[in-house]
Amino acid sequence: MKKKDIKVLVVDDEVAFANTLTQRLEMRDLKVGTAYDGEQALTKLKEEEPDVMVLDLKMPGMHGMEVLREIRKAYPDIQVIILTGHGTDKDAEEAKRLGGFDFLRKPADIDHLEHKIRRAFQEKLERTMTAIAFAEAGEFDTARKIIKEEDEEQ
Amino acid sequence: MEHKGEEHLRLLQLQFVGKILAGFTHEIKNYIAIIKESAGLMEDMVKLDKGQKGKPEQYLEIIRSIEEQIQKTNDLFRYLNRFAHRMDHEFSAFNINESLEELFALIQRVANQKRITLKKDFQREIPSFHGNPSIFQLVIFSFLEEKMTNLDKNSIITVKIGAKGNSIGVSISSEGVLKGEQDVQAMIPPEMRMFALEKLKGTVSESNGIIDVTLPLSR
């Protein structure tokens, strides 16, 4: 993997936490942006679409679950990892049902988080590559199906 | 009837404590997460630098951030400890300003989440009130919670405390837009709120959306 190939967006209303996490992930060769609430995150997506979003749940204004729902509708390619200090098992189930890639609780180990981000990116890449391979082989229906399945799963 | 009322009130107090604890633990988890990330960032910097050309100002900035989080954690623990001790005695002399400062600190996060500003307008050197401090906090919390749930974001709730004659008045007013859908029931049913207020020998009136709680100073 080339340096800073994976684009990440950290979304958390705790400014100190979001900024520090951003710095640490950047030191691990990820290209990281930061948003401090759900509305800001959705605005940032219009400028640049990240590969992976690290998303808090309890934020002022839009709740993280609402953000996840919006992303699934408008940006199905983005992988979302929930990182919350307040997550219940019910939240974890709901996030999975909505197509979240993973659900982590604060404080999380940075190496573990980095590993999850890379895996999420890998999975996204594999899906895209498979769809492209089918499309190149002229099997457009299958390629579409993969994309569609991806949307439906989420 | 009296017995059932007591039981119901006890249950409401437990729910109140649960809500306060949920908010508190969430806040503390956030502070710990920031401390952990800040310490981790210093570790990353040391590893990257290998001690060759450190940038002291960067380290100092991170240390200051850690100290700030520790201070916030300590303050919140102090408030929670005082809150817990409010239940030690059913009847005691307490300072209304302090008890509401404490309640504000413990519910601040909920207000932030809803983007509602809590404002204090407390008269200084208010006489001590004799009564059940825990029930007093529960009653005021129930009014605040109801307002916080029914008001739209960017609203302001002001709590004013002042001594008037032989009583202390707590006035709760709000500025802002009411949500289209009033999706909350009072945490305390009105009859239970009255039951709780009677225990404080207090009265409540509401006019133009301003809630006035009056508590007698003499026993």
pLDDT in tens, A39-63: 999 999 999 999 999 999 999 989 9
pLDDT value at residue B1? 56
> Cβ of A17 and B41 within 8 Å?
no
For B39-51, the pLDDT digits (tens) are 999 999 988 876 5
Same domain, B75 and B122: no
Same domain, B78 and B150: no
- How far B147 CA sits from the closest chain A CA (Å)? 17
Q: What one-letter code names the amino acid at A50?
A: P
Q: With bands split at pLDDT 50, 70 and 90, how would you rate the model's confidence at B186? A: low
Same domain, B97 and B195: yes
Name the β-bridge partners of B210.
B207
Q: Which of B34, B68, B114 sits opposite A17 (nearest CB)?
A: B34
The percentage of residues in chain B with a pLDDT greater than 70, rounded to a whole number, is 92
Place of tokens 């859908």: B181
Selected residue of A86, A111, A114 to mutate for chain B interface (largest B Cβ count, 10 A): A86
A12 contact partners, CB below 8 Å, separation of at least 6: A18, A21, A36, A54, A56, A59, A83
Residue A154 above 50 pLDDT?
A: no
Chain B residues with CB-CB distance to A61 below 8 A: 115, 153
Lowest mean per-residue pLDDT among A16-30, A131-145, B13-27, B147-161: A131-145
Query: What is the C-alpha to C-alpha distance for residues B105 and B3, in angstroms, rounded to an integer?
Result: 33
Give me the residues of B, 157-216, that contact A with CB < 8 A.
none
Residue A148 above 60 pLDDT?
A: no
Q: Which of A21, A61, A107 sits opposite B115 (nearest CB)?
A: A61
Lowest mean per-residue pLDDT among A50-54, B45-49, B58-62, B66-70: B45-49
Same domain, B22 and B107: no
Q: Chain A: residue nearest B113 by CA?
A: A60
Higher local confidence (pLDDT), B216 or B3: B216
Query: What is the C-alpha to C-alpha distance for residues A36 and A16, in angstroms, rounded to an integer?
Result: 10
> Cβ of A20 and B48 within 8 Å?
no
Q: Which of A20, A58, A107 sits opposite B32 (nearest CB)?
A: A107
For A107-125, the pLDDT digits (tens) are 899 999 999 999 999 999 8
Find out whether A26 and A54 touch, Cβ atoms under 8 Å: no
Q: With bands split at pLDDT 50, 70 and 90, how would you rate the model's confidence at B181? A: low
Q: What is the DSSP secondary-structure string of A5-71?
A: -SEEEEE-S-HHHHHHHHHHHHTTT-EEEEESSHHHHHHHHHH---SEEEE-SS-SSS-HHHHHHHH
Place of tokens 């457009």: A140
Residue A128 above 90 pLDDT?
A: no
Same domain, B10 and B96: no
Place of tokens 């030191």: A27
pLDDT value at residue A133? 81
Q: For chains A and B, what is the number of CB pairs under 8 angstroms?
A: 55
Locate B25 and state its tokens: 């633990």
Query: What is the C-alpha to C-alpha distance for residues A103 and A93, in angstroms, rounded to an integer?
Result: 9
Query: What is the C-alpha to C-alpha distance for residues B189 and B12, in angstroms, rounded to an integer?
Result: 10
Please identify, among B23, B52, B85, the residue that sits at the C-terminal boundary of a domain. Answer: B85
Closest CA to B194 of B5, B4, B1, B3: B5
> Cβ of B41 and A24 within 8 Å?
yes
Q: What is the CATH number of the domain that holds B98?
A: 3.30.565.10
Please identify, among B69, B85, B101, the residue that sits at the C-terminal boundary of a domain. Answer: B85
Q: Is the ipTM of this complex over 0.85?
A: no
- How far B113 CA sits from the closest chain A CA (Å)? 4
Same domain, B118 and B212: yes
Same domain, B177 and B96: yes
Q: Are strands A7-11 and A52-55 parallel, antiparallel or unpaired?
A: parallel
Closest CA to A73 of A130, A18, A151: A151
Chain B residues with CB-CB distance to A57 below 8 A: none
- Taking the Cβ of residue B36 and every Cβ of chain A, the question of whether any pair is shorter than 8 Å is answered with yes
| Total count of domains within chain B | 2
| pLDDT average, residue stretch B165-170 | 93
Rounded to two decimals, the pTM is 0.83
pLDDT value at residue B185? 54
Chain A residues with CB-CB distance to B116 below 8 A: none
> How far does Cα B204 stand from its chain's mean position?
20
Residue B24 above 60 pLDDT?
A: yes
pLDDT value at residue B54? 66
Place of tokens 């404590």: B17
Same domain, B38 and B145: no
Same domain, B73 and B98: no
Same domain, B97 and B81: no
pLDDT value at residue B85? 95
Same domain, B157 and B103: yes
For B80-130, the pLDDT digits (tens) are 999 999 999 889 999 999 999 999 999 998 899 889 999 999 999 899 999
pLDDT value at residue B183? 55
Averaged pLDDT of chain B: 90
Higher local confidence (pLDDT), A139 or B35: B35
H-helix or E-strand containing B164?
Answer: strand B156-164
Please identify, among B85, B111, B139, the residue that sits at the C-terminal boundary of a domain. Answer: B85
pLDDT value at residue B55? 78
Backbone angles phi, psi at B131, to 5 degrees: 170, -160
Could you tell me the residue range of the domain that residue B141 belongs to? 92-216
Q: What is the CATH number of the domain that holds B26?
A: 1.10.287
Same domain, B108 and B153: yes
